[in-house]
Structure 1
Amino acid sequence: MPATATLETQAPKAGYAMDDVRANVDPKPQLESDSYRAAGKLEGKAALVTGGDSGIGAAAAIAFAKEGADVALVYYSSDDDAQAVADRIRELGRRALVFKGDVGDEGFCQSVVKRVVDEWGHLDVLVNDAGEQTPQASILDVSQAQLVRTFQTNIFSMFFLVKAALPHLPQGGTIVNTTSVTAYQGSPQLLDYSATKGAITAFTRSLSENEELVKRGIRVNAVAPGPIWSPLNPASYGPDSEKVRTFGQETPMGRPGQPYELAPAYVFLASEDSSYISGQVIHINGGMVVNG
């Protein structure tokens, strides 16, 4: 049986049931590509991926398994999606662990890392991908509760997980964070979300220069997605909203990205292929040119 931990503290967003939206996303996000060719880049590694039940996190987790890694998934609410990703990892011949809970709770983050290390004996890669957003037309509509909740999930969790994982990461371990194009371009309806993504970029750069990590050869990088088709946006705006119907059309490529199109970047940053890269952000956004 997969290992599972539970902490149910996060409120539903935008009035939609997240599990219902995930189940009815049309078309379904594409987590894999037939053209991907694995090369054992993460053979024998153990990876922990937050937000691993759907979207970018799920695509990265599956790609890690294809590259030879065992993968522990952390998710908040969608049991069926998380188990489907875990089943796919096992189908690929790798081990999977599944943890359900709130990454905004430091105790939960500590317990997840401990369980992974107890089960597998090591942890080599940490991917901080979990995130939430709640659009608001005005800053006057952003409540203190929403502000705190968004920061807890999106950036506090990264502090919690890095603190828990760092004692276990080996020489040459890797950390990959998910920031966003909104950190560079802003988003008028996502003030708190964009602020957390800017914080993630600064956190990534600052952590990469920390003396302890540098001495141990632990590299820290990030991926900045543009509009990627995942359950997050239908859940945030409503599946029938104009925002969702036109999602991604503002990019030079005129479409949203699919989760599988980001997975190779996570593999690259987690593997020795990026051995001379740290403190950097890879922008995967359909051609939008941003500074940074």
Structure 2
Amino acid sequence: MPNKSKKDNSEQQQPAQQQDRQPGRESEMNPLPEYENPDFKGSGLLQDRVALITGGDSGIGRAIAVAYAREGAHVAIAYLDEVEDAEYTAGLVSGLGRECLLLKGDLSSKNTCVKAVSDTVEKFGKLDILVSNAAEQHPKDSVEEISEEQLRKTFETNVFPMFYLTAAALPHLRKSAHPAIILTTSVTAYRGSPHLLDYSAAKGSIASFTRSLSGNLAGDNIRVNGVAPGPIWTPLIPSTFPEEKVEKFGSDTPLGRAGQPWECATCYVFLASDQSSYMTGQILHPNGGEIING
């Protein structure tokens, strides 16, 4: 899978394309997302730590898994049903000499979340890092078009698992010497999105949850931070938007292009490592230069 380390803004737009279901498949995208920068060499920032990453099969989640493995961590990746993508990611992790546990299931179920944590601890004996990253979105032109079913599904996928996973993970994180929780919100939480009303609302609640949870867990020395990506080239994009919008995706940012998953993954490495030991309740913004004052 090709991975480039340099960005040429003159050749950034992707061909028009669309996938007909969520979650999307990374293997069907053109061009393929760049999950790592080959110029980056691991330096043991997460050596022998264990991370559970939701949505870890593709997109930003895959990039996080690879970056964590390169920094010495073992990873468990939770995914819905994208078996091919998940197995590819597992191969990337094992190729870096780290172990990868695949956890298939619907995270909107509390039982699935609890089992994901317990299976991770059973496999690796501990849990140091929880990355709650799985998401879905469904554009609508008006709030009147958002059905009760869609509203529930949006929050059950984007928000509820963060509560379920955190509650299940806390007993294990309290035993870790380097505990960290990292939650994925979005630029839409800060500037809104006229056509992603429920998604933006869900992501806004994640930003608030990050800040509130950080204060709640400060006494346990468990750091809680977030990442608010802007337009990143992941399977969520062609599985969400029509072809003509996909073709122009990211072109309205100051940098004039969509970001690549690895350009977000560096934020997750920093927030999981001891390099961010005095940071909690904060959110990083890899968004191509949009100023959102958040």
| TM-score w.r.t. length of structure 1 | 0.92
Q: CA deviation at 1:24?
A: 2.1
**Amino acid paired to 1:49:** I
Equivalent of residue 37 in structure 2, options 33, 40, 60: 33
Partner residue in 1 for 2:15: none
* C-alpha contact (below 8 Å) 1:223/1:281 kept by paired residues: yes
Q: CA deviation at 1:19?
A: 6.9
Equivalent of residue 69 in structure 1, options 64, 67, 73: 73
* C-alpha contact (below 8 Å) 2:233/2:259 kept by paired residues: yes
Partner residue in 1 for 2:192: 186
1:279 equivalent in alignment to 2:290: no
Q: Distance in 2 between matches of 1:20 and 1:75?
A: 12
Q: CA deviation at 1:20?
A: 6.9
Q: Secondary structure at the match of 1:243?
A: helix
Equivalent of residue 266 in structure 1, options 259, 264, 268: 268
* C-alpha contact (below 8 Å) 2:26/2:59 kept by paired residues: no
Residues 164-207 of structure 1 show CA distances to partners (whole Å, capped at 9, x for unaligned) of 10111024400001100000010011000000110000000000
Q: Distance in 1 between matches of 2:213 and 2:23?
A: 34
Q: Secondary structure at the match of 1:221?
A: strand
Partner residue in 2 for 1:161: 165
Residues 244-283 of structure 1 show CA distances to partners (whole Å, capped at 9, x for unaligned) of 0110011000100000111111000001000000000000
1:253 equivalent in alignment to 2:251: no
Task: Give the aligned CA root-mean-square deviation in angstroms.
Answer: 1.3
* C-alpha contact (below 8 Å) 1:18/1:78 kept by paired residues: no
Instruction: List aligned pairs for 1:1-292, cutoff 5 A.
Output: 16-18=20-22, 21-169=25-173, 170-210=176-216, 213-238=217-242, 241-292=243-294
| TM-score w.r.t. length of structure 2 | 0.91
How many residues are aligned here? 275
Q: Distance in 2 between matches of 1:172 and 1:46?
A: 10
Structure 2 alignment gaps of length 5 or more: 1-17
Structure 1 alignment gaps of length 5 or more: 1-13
* C-alpha contact (below 8 Å) 2:23/2:239 kept by paired residues: no
